[in-house]
Amino acid sequence: MKVKAEDLLHRGVERHRAGRIEEAESLYRRALRLAPGHPDAENLLGICARQRGDLKAALAHAARAVAAMPDSALFQANHGATLAEAGRLGEAIDALERALSLNPADVVSLRNLGQAMTAAGQPGPALDPLREAVRLAPQAPEAWLALAHAAREAGAAEEARQAAAQVKGPLAEQAGFLLAGLGAGPVPARAPAAYVRELFDAFAPRFDAELEGALGYRTPALLAALLEGAAPGRLLDLGCGTGLSGVALKPFATRMEGLDLSPRMLAEARARGLYDALHEADLLEFLPRRIAAYDIIAAADVLNYLGDLRPALEAMKTALRPGGTAVFSLETGEEEVALGEGLRYRHNPAHAAGLAEAAGFTVVARQEAVLRREKGSDVAGVLFRLAR
């Protein structure tokens, strides 16, 4: 009996739902060979590619599905979600609005639209689709959390607090962190790892352009200047992100490794070809296992996500060889530690210096600096160079 494309797609969807993505993708490709240009096959292949992290292929498949069937709300929605993941926010907003014009009750697209608008610097307009999402799906924690973040960005603190309080289940820790930043909950010792990972996964495609452009990001260059005179050695770029910091740090490395929580940031860093090794891990778990492994540890805008610096400083000391050097930046404030509305911690420089000394470091240099700009204002910081 002759196999039909629809039969292959049906079998592929069954595999896909079971989490067997490679098998599903193989079946979708067979269907596409039998029926070139089949919009369902293109759409499903786009979803597979997106799940694998191949956004270039995902965008190509999603665009072909939409071209073949532009009146499909599903295809427009998937195309918009993929564009958003790729950092093409303006196009994503347009596609998601088209999807919602075809299916106004699509809760996922309402949430995706609100998140894309928030990321694009339009938190006020983002509130309407997100309010509709939680009205349609009041038990959806993802929608409530997205609304809380948009309301915070829009300056609607009370709505942000109310929305965050609705978040249940695994996302509750992230909601609690947001509430702490709004002054409505206890301040935790650190930002939740899942929050940091998701934040930078979403930011990865546009990270370099935004930081070097509107935000005037200077921290890697400032830390490199602070390292002047240090002998090159085994260097760990802590929270390496896309590798932007590695460009500045490379002259101080005979071997350079990078560490980050975000797999999409690490993918960008890998593409630069600067690093001898890259590690996806939490710094508080990674560093204690790397006893005396490095001559230099650099952390550009990483410790801003830690309220209690003691464990990180002790872990850095463990991972440095005797005589090694640590350089890092902190955002500064008057209190010993405070969690700002931007959901980053600010540290008092004198208090941080005391913690470094208590961990066994010598403070070699400490200097105030403007780390970048945010919402039109300078972000005040401090740079440290420590000796083990």
How far apart (Å, rounded) are the C-alpha atoms in residues 69 and 269?
A: 36
Q: What percent of the chain is modeled with pLDDT above 90?
A: 91
The whole-number pLDDT of residue 3 equals 76
Q: Identify the bridge partners of residue 236 per DSSP, sorted by sequence position.
A: 257, 297
Strands of the sheet containing 320-331, edge to edge, are 277-280, 253-260, 233-238, 294-299, 320-331, 377-387, 362-374
Q: How many residues belong to the chain?
A: 388
Contact 374, 342 (CB under 8 A): yes
Average pLDDT over residues 53-66: 95
Look up tokens 């470094």; give the residue. 356
Look up tokens 């995706």; give the residue. 112
pLDDT at residue 265 tops 70: yes
Residues 6+ apart with CB under 8 A from 196: 261, 262, 305
How far apart (Å, rounded) are the C-alpha atoms in residues 104 and 182?
A: 32
pLDDT, mean over the chain: 95
pLDDT at residue 210 tops 70: yes
Residue 230 to residues 164, 276, 323, 366, Cα–Cα distance (Å): 46, 20, 11, 16
With bands split at pLDDT 50, 70 and 90, how would you rate the model's confidence at 1?
low
The whole-number pLDDT of residue 340 equals 85
Among left, alpha and beta (phi > 0; psi -120 to 50; other), residue 298 is: beta
The whole-number pLDDT of residue 319 equals 98
With bands split at pLDDT 50, 70 and 90, how would you rate the model's confidence at 214?
low
- Give the angle 60-66-68 at the CA atoms, nearest 5°: 100
Average pLDDT over residues 188-208: 91
* Model confidence pLDDT, tens digit, residues 71-129: 999 999 999 999 999 999 999 999 999 999 999 999 999 999 999 999 999 999 999 99
Domains and CATH numbers, the chain: 1-104 (1.25.40.10), 114-186 (1.25.40), 199-387 (3.40.50.150)
The whole-number pLDDT of residue 92 equals 98
- Amino acid (one-letter) located at 231: A
Helix (H, G, I), strand (E, B) or coil at 370: strand
Q: At 216, phi and psi to the nearest 5?
A: 55, 50
With bands split at pLDDT 50, 70 and 90, how would you rate the model's confidence at 316?
very high
Helix (H, G, I), strand (E, B) or coil at 348: coil
For CA atoms 319, 325, 331, 337, the dihedral sign is: positive
Eight-state DSSP code of residue 242: T
How far apart (Å, rounded) are the C-alpha atoms in residues 281 and 24?
A: 30
How far apart (Å, rounded) are the C-alpha atoms in residues 235 and 249?
A: 8
The closest alpha carbon to 354, from 371, 337, 331, 379, belongs to 337
* Model confidence pLDDT, tens digit, residues 157-195: 999 999 999 999 999 999 999 999 999 999 999 999 999
The whole-number pLDDT of residue 206 equals 84
Q: What percent of the chain is modeled with pLDDT above 70?
A: 99
The whole-number pLDDT of residue 86 equals 93
Average pLDDT over residues 249-255: 97
How far apart (Å, rounded) are the C-alpha atoms in residues 271 and 172?
A: 34
The whole-number pLDDT of residue 236 equals 98
- Amino acid (one-letter) located at 181: G
Q: Identify the bridge partners of residue 279 per DSSP, sorted by sequence position.
A: 259
How far apart (Å, rounded) are the C-alpha atoms in residues 209 and 290?
A: 33
Average pLDDT over residues 345-350: 97
